[in-house]
Amino acid sequence: MPRVQISGEVDGCEAREGLALVCDYERWPDLSDAVEAVRVEREDERQSRSFWEVTFRRGLMRWTERDELNLSELESKFELVEGDPDLFVGTWKGEPTASGCVLTMDAEFDLGMPSLEHILDPIAVEAIEDAVESVLLKTFAGKVKVTFGERAAATAEIGSKSEGS
């Protein structure tokens, strides 16, 4: 199953504030060309459902996900409820650092097209990376360094170690 890991090392931003900003999904259409629309329905202070429309390969993918934002734990979880992909699940985590924070998205997905996964999965990984990178760069203009894949996981690890130092 494809996995996407993206970290943004943000200067001058507390982890709680940074996590709240990246998890404000209704802002994403203004921050990424691929995200056409997001509507959020709040269930309570921490839980919501978000309804997504995202451009993917000249078409539109639609899905609904359940989101749970826990700012005290510096974590947000998201999980597909229904829609075009068969699976989309992951987390956003914030880690304080000496100079700000590291925000990391770690997600897995399955487009549900096994005969085409060798073609579509790499395209989908790149599309998710591009959209999240755009959100990070526009949200934290000039104050963020974005890393992908194993380097993103290592950046998140460094963030958690510097907090413990």
Question: Does the structure show a pLDDT above 60 at 152?
Answer: no
Q: What is the pLDDT of residue 113?
A: 86
| pTM: predicted TM-score of the whole model, two decimal places | 0.88
Q: What is the pLDDT of residue 36?
A: 96
- How far apart (Å, rounded) are the C-alpha atoms in residues 3 and 133? 16
Question: Does the structure show a pLDDT above 50 at 165?
Answer: no
Q: 149: Cβ–Cβ under 8 A, 6 or more apart, which residues?
A: 5
- Dump pLDDT digits (tens) for 12-37: 999 999 999 999 999 999 999 999 99
- Dump pLDDT digits (tens) for 56-102: 888 899 999 999 999 999 999 999 999 999 999 999 999 999 999 99
Q: Which class would CATH give 3-164?
A: alpha beta
Please report, for residues 67, 104, 125, 155, the alpha-carbon distance to residue 52 in angstroms, rounded to integers and kept in the order given.
12, 20, 17, 28
Return the ∠ at Cα 49 (arms to 46 and 52), rounded to 5°: 135
What residue segments make up the domains of the chain, in order of their start? 3-164
When mean pLDDT is compared over 44-48, 73-77, 145-149, the highest value belongs to: 73-77
